[in-house]
Amino acid sequence: MNVLYFHQHFSTPNGSTGIRSYEMAQSLLKHGHQVTMVCGSYGGGETGLTSGFIKGRREGVVDGIHIIEFDLAYSNADGLIKRAGTFLKFALKSIGISLTHKYDVVFATTTPLTAGIPGIFARWLRGKPFVFEVRDLWPELPKEMGVIKNPLVLAAMSMLEWCSYRSAHRCIGLSPGIVEGIKKCGVKANMVEIIPNGCDLSIFAENVSSWRPDGVADTDLMAVFTGTHGIANGLDAALDAAAELKRRGRHDIKLVFVGQGKLKNSLQDRAKLEDLNNVIFHPPVNKSKLAELMKGADIGLQLLANIPAFYYGTSPNKFFDYIAAGLPVLNNYPGWLAGMIIDNNCGYAIEPNSASAFADALEHAADNKELLPEVGERALALAKSDFNRHKLADKWVAWVSGVKK
């Protein structure tokens, strides 16, 4: 079977972003299928292609995956209008691929929501089986975040959401809330499968060397956040906790932020203004370097803004990286991840918008460092039992390859 796979933000493990699509493509190859990956140029991503762009695209084979990359640069630091323009350009170019290439199944994964457009065209104009994977609920999330307020834009996005779900022969949701959101649009329960993000145990759980950024002593408690520094991540909550820890005189606790994003500069400015020398910012790193950083860390920070749509409607890569690395996790919002942390006793699930609760949890961890390895072992056990990437990838391949018109 030849699968035409659309993911605008695709990356190999050499990039500094999530690699779900890379792992799923590798699983397709393992099961004897062929994959054509269509993507853009994502800041922090690395497709593996090195040739120059010709007429706005380049292509080649990387690790067995046939990749078509459009010269459409995208970064999480881009403004809303620029990002929307890039999303639409990618969708339009992808329609051309979906209408001309030879393939058996078309698969598209968000974000953005516009990723489903080539699948819609393939379904209705060529009669191709279409599988749609939903990583975030749109327009619910941007609406609740206040990022998009125009009623016409929200209505158009709702229509695209409904059309994408109803055009797909099968859907995949990455969290319980996403699956429920898809079903609310009229998709039958037997047409939707939950396949969450998985743990890259071969990357994070293997014996690796460790390192800590400059400014973090070996005796410090090191709490690490990895990923986008954007509105959704609510990282001011961490700086609030850092300020509280400074007031308490806990100079032995360091918060390390690794990544990039629209709000990184403003977060750095605030830390400098308030002289938060317990906060350290570091550029993005690739997966192997990230595994070494987590080896040197004591706790992982799973942070999001306190928005109800996030509680059950997201499946953050960083959480699964943390538990794969055997790190206890501090989570600052309710929902399915908080429930797992509580049920498995593998970290701290604190109330949102509370600098004191955040600081209390970090202080408890610092004062009981000898207990953290045992907590981390429980996190790793959860990763192995419920979120092994290879097992989830096999389930994903069976769901995608078993689709019928």
pLDDT, tens digit, 9 for 90 and up, residues 349-392: 999 999 999 999 999 999 999 999 999 999 999 999 999 999 99
Predicted local confidence at residue 147, as pLDDT: 76
Predicted local confidence at residue 404, as pLDDT: 83
Q: Per residue in 238-269, pLDDT tens?
A: 999 999 999 999 999 999 999 998 899 999 99
Statement: residue 76 has pLDDT above 70: no
Predicted local confidence at residue 158, as pLDDT: 87
Structure-token pair, residue 180: 């429920």
Whose CA is closest to 5, among 21, 20, 19? 21
Whose CA is closest to 221, among 281, 287, 300? 300
Cα–Cα distance between 228 and 346 in angstroms, integer?
Answer: 24
Least confident of 76-80, 266-270, 275-279: 76-80
Cα–Cα distance between 330 and 365 in angstroms, integer?
Answer: 10
Q: Per residue in 132-141, pLDDT tens?
A: 999 988 777 7
Predicted local confidence at residue 113, as pLDDT: 83
The model carries a pTM of 0.91
Band of pLDDT at residue 85, cut at 50, 70 and 90:
confident
What DSSP string describes 203-271? HHSS-------TT--TTSEEEEEES--SGGGTTHHHHHHHHHHHHTT-TTEEEEEE---TTHHHHHHHH
Band of pLDDT at residue 202, cut at 50, 70 and 90:
confident
Sheet holding 192-194, edge to edge: 57-62, 65-74, 34-42, 2-6, 105-109, 130-134, 170-173, 192-194
Least confident of 6-10, 93-97, 147-151, 263-267: 147-151
Q: Which residue has the higher pLDDT, 148 or 276?
A: 276
How many residues are there in the chain?
A: 405
Cα–Cα distance between 308 and 400 in angstroms, integer?
Answer: 30
Q: Residues 174, 135: contact at Cβ < 8 Å?
A: yes
Statement: residue 344 has pLDDT above 80: yes
How open is the CA angle 357-315-352, to the nearest 5 degrees? Answer: 20
Predicted local confidence at residue 207, as pLDDT: 80
Half-sphere exposure of 143 (CA within 13 A, CB side): 15
Domains and CATH numbers, the chain: 2-198+388-401 (3.40.50.2000), 202-386 (3.40.50.2000)
Predicted local confidence at residue 300, as pLDDT: 98
For the residues 81-105, what does the mean pLDDT come to?
92
Predicted local confidence at residue 77, as pLDDT: 65
Statement: residue 223 has pLDDT above 80: yes
Tell me the pLDDT of the chain averaged across its residues: 93
Statement: residue 142 has pLDDT above 80: no
Cα–Cα distance between 230 and 110 in angstroms, integer?
Answer: 18
For the residues 92-101, what does the mean pLDDT come to?
96
Cα–Cα distance between 143 and 145 in angstroms, integer?
Answer: 5
Predicted local confidence at residue 386, as pLDDT: 96
Any bridge partners for residue 221, and if so which? 253
Q: Per residue in 17-53, pLDDT tens?
A: 889 999 999 999 999 999 999 999 877 789 999 999 9
Predicted local confidence at residue 156, as pLDDT: 87
Q: Residues 65, 25: contact at Cβ < 8 Å?
A: yes
Q: Per residue in 206-219, pLDDT tens?
A: 788 999 999 999 99
Band of pLDDT at residue 145, cut at 50, 70 and 90:
confident
**SS3 of the chain: helix, strand, coil, percent, to 5:** 45, 20, 35
Band of pLDDT at residue 154, cut at 50, 70 and 90:
confident
